Amino acid sequence: MNPEQLLLKAKTHLTMKHPYFGMLASRLRHEPGEGVSGYASNGVRFLYNPAYIEKRTIEEVMFILTNCVMHHVLSHQQRRLNRRGSLWQLATDYAINNLLHQNGLVIPQGANFNTEFKGMYAEEIYDLLKEQYGLSLSEDAFGRDDQRSPDTMAMGDVPEEEGGEPFSANDGTIDEGLDPQSESQWQYAASVAKEVAQRKGSMPTGMDRLGKRAIASGVDWRFELYNAINRHMRNNYAFMPPNKKHIYRGIALPSLASDTLSLCVAIDTSGSINDELLGLFMEEFKSIMNNFPAVKIELITADAKVHNHYTFQGGERLDFSLKGGGGTDFRPVFDYIDANLPMTTMLLYFTDGEGRFPRIPPAYEVLWALSGPAKTPFGRALALFA
């Protein structure tokens, strides 16, 4: 079977066994590519080395195609931001390949696969890999102390996987970036594929909260948020706990401790909240913990009622469920804080702003992280999107 026939057969098998993945894989226009050592995809074209593909089994080609399209569906290139390119590629592969394994696809030998990362976002995996490989952890929302550009970091900086040649989603010989129109087309194609798969009862598992992360608007809402946090911080340096950004270097530097800030974060899990906002929340919540390791954060998830309350502090692994899907009423969160967290000094509420507000503003500061234009009767509104 020649490479062309193998690719067509793999797409057919995917469509039959995994309609969601098959419909998306069929969008890729495959063609032989000069200088391509294995395969590469930019979301429009799938270039391949015929000698490489013809050595693959049908299951391996199905995996290759699915891995490629999921990078585009999950907007991994757009979500990279200022992260190291090769390490981000590894993290996204781990996230995708665990999802594919969960849905019955064969993971080839040599692919980036580790069950320890099952169910984790690529952003979470990336942070764990940084610690694992001893890379710099001194990052924040405003810059990085590593002066090298992510593009200048060679794959040799990260240990290669054992067990054979890697199955990366892109070997660097084709432009990775998607233009806005192509990205929009992928999101539309994914929504159509989801609808078809749901009608057939074959929607992949593990996709519910694995959507793309949103990118903040031109308004630097992170700067506003961190300024607000800093206003409550006391410049009291203490060695307990030490600054976690430098622990990997064997250096115990003092951290900025605070006995004046009690931060509460609420996330609106109502039916009107999409995965973009949830993803952005996850990313920024981790940034807050990493940049303010001495701050204890109370996390509340709610729609028209409070579903869960968790307590986190910098450096802890995020492990919580997002329950909801109902209507939106902000009052239960404020009532819950009054009853259970009376020392709260600031509330950050991630929401679309569509719901019932308390009649009387609370005594503590309130920041509304809004996914769209909305009027808030009190507090400061921060726009997440342009």
Give me the DSSP letters along 287-309.
HHHHH-TT-EEEEEEESSSEEEE
Shared-domain flag, residues 131 and 162: yes
Structure-block tokens of residue 186? 């992928």
* C-alpha dist (Å) from residue 308 to 212, 225, 272: 24, 23, 19
pLDDT for position 275: 67
Q: Residue 207 falls within a domain, yes or no?
A: no
Within 10 A of 378 (CB to CB), how many other CB atoms are there? 12
The per-residue pLDDT for 62 is 95
239 inside domain: yes
Residue-by-residue pLDDT tens, the chain, 386 positions: 899 999 999 999 998 899 999 988 988 888 898 788 888 887 778 889 999 999 999 999 999 999 988 988 887 776 776 677 788 889 989 999 999 999 999 999 888 999 998 888 888 888 889 888 876 544 432 233 333 333 322 222 333 333 344 454 444 444 444 555 566 677 777 877 887 788 778 888 877 555 544 444 444 556 666 666 666 654 344 444 555 554 555 554 445 444 556 789 998 888 777 666 677 766 767 766 766 666 788 999 888 899 999 888 766 666 666 666 678 899 999 999 999 999 898 898 988 888 999 999 999 999 898 877 888 999 988 876 54
Distance CA 164, CA 169 (A): 16
Q: How many domains does the chain have?
A: 2
Last residue of a domain, one of 169, 199, 229: 199
What are residue 310's DSSP bridge partners? Answer: 299
Q: For position 281, which CATH number holds? A: 3.40.50
215 located within any domain = no
Q: Are residues 192 and 230 both part of a single domain?
A: no
186 and 228, same structural domain?
A: no
Cβ pair 228, 367 in contact under 8 A: yes
212 falls within a domain: no
Do 299 and 178 share a domain, yes or no?
no
The candidate with the shortest Cα–Cα distance to 294, out of 248, 221, 336, 235, is 235
In-domain check, residue 216: no
Which residues does 210 contact at the CB level (< 8 Å), separation at least 6?
A: 74, 95, 99, 121, 275
The confidence score (pLDDT) of residue 169 equals 43
CA distance 300 to 350: 10
- Same domain as 226, residue 364: yes
Per-residue pLDDT, 225 = 67
**Whether 259 contacts 291, CB under 8 Å:** no
Tell whether 238 is covered by a domain. Answer: yes
Nearest by Cα to 229 from 272, 285, 278:
285
Provide the pLDDT for residue 57: 94
Q: What is the pLDDT of residue 138?
A: 40
What pLDDT does 316 receive?
66
Supply φ then ψ for residue 275, to 5 degrees: -70, -20
Q: What is the pLDDT of residue 222?
A: 61
Over its C-alpha atoms, the chain yields an Rg (Å, rounded) of 23
Do 167 and 304 sit in the same domain of this protein? no
Distance CA 332, CA 349 (A): 13
Question: Which domain-ending residue is among 165, 199, 233?
Answer: 199
Do 178 and 284 lie in one domain? The reply is no
Residue span of the structural domain in which 255 resides:
221-383
Backbone angles phi and psi of 63, in degrees to 5: -65, -45
Residues 7, 113: one domain? yes
Whether residues 153 and 236 share a domain: the answer is no
Q: Are residues 169 and 245 in the same domain?
A: no
Q: Torsions phi, psi of 152, nearest 5?
A: -90, 0
Query: Are 261 and 372 contained in the same domain?
Result: yes
